[in-house]
Amino acid sequence: MTRRSVEIISKNSLHPRRAAVFARAAGHFKCEIAVINGDYRVDGKSILGLISLEPQQGARIIIETDGEDEVRAVETLAKILEGQQI
């Protein structure tokens, strides 16, 4: 299992378009992917789940991956949330 904490810098870090990009990228990985915001845990491959997290600017969310390509997945998905090109 690999985990990475990502700070939400922009209030738009998980708006619907970014959530769709995140979920689409997550779908390319074989590992299980979860995104955690406080007490809420959602499937990282679910657009609606990601949008429902509603992380506030300055919050830290956790990307948790488990499976054969978990390290590459967590690195790629963290870049998406940080606004970097993948």
Residues with a catalytic annotation lie at 15
Give the E-state strand segments of 17-59 in sequence order.
32-37, 40-43
Question: If we measure between CA atoms, which residue out of 64, 71, 27, 57 comes closest to residue 45?
Answer: 27
- Compute the distance between CA of residue 56 and CA of residue 61 in angstroms, rounded to an integer: 10
